[in-house]
Amino acid sequence: MNLNGIIIVIEDDKDDRELMNELMSEVLLQNNFRNKLLFMSDGLEALSYLHKMTDKPFMIISDINMPGMNGFELRKIIFQDERLSTLCVPYIFLTTSGYHKEYLEKAYKLSVQGYFKKPHSAQEYRQMLTEMLCYWKRSLTPA
């Protein structure tokens, strides 16, 4: 795992991207993490980037419901792509959908490493992002 690699955030909603950028930047700074953030607005843009990238990212945080290619479709392609799937990059869903049994089952069948509901308060959101990043900074992977 590239602990200092970029964090790819795939989110189609401009306001959600701005909030995530603000909160994630605070979390990175407070924890002295050197990761850069890269925001993309849909799965097609992310897939194009992933096929061209030269440095392995630290993690991918993806919305589910997006136009063009949704988060499930993107995850399925990554999961089935031999080169991309062996990179051991955590793929995490972050969605407003909350508990939706069908979505949860579908996500975990695609071997996602997390499924989180976007919190309503900035404080809860910041805490969730802190816990998420700290967990993956400590986690060991084969790659």
Q: Is residue 2 part of a domain?
A: no
Q: What is the pLDDT of residue 51?
A: 93
Question: Hey, is 92 helix, strand or coil?
Answer: strand
Domain range enclosing 19: 7-134
pLDDT in tens, 35-47: 999 999 999 999 9
- Record the pTM: 0.94
- What CATH number is associated with residue 25? 3.40.50.2300
Contacts of 117 (CB under 8 A, 6+ apart): 95, 96, 97, 98, 99
Q: Is residue 142 part of a domain?
A: no
CA 74, CA 42: separation in Å to the nearest integer?
9
Q: Is residue 59 part of a domain?
A: yes
Counting the structural domains of the chain, the total is 1
pLDDT in tens, 98-140: 678 899 999 999 999 999 999 999 999 999 999 999 999 999 8
Q: What is the 3-state secondary structure (H, E, C) of 19-73?
A: HHHHHHHHHHHHCCCCCCEEEECCHHHHHHHHHHCCCCCCEEEECCCCCCCCHHH
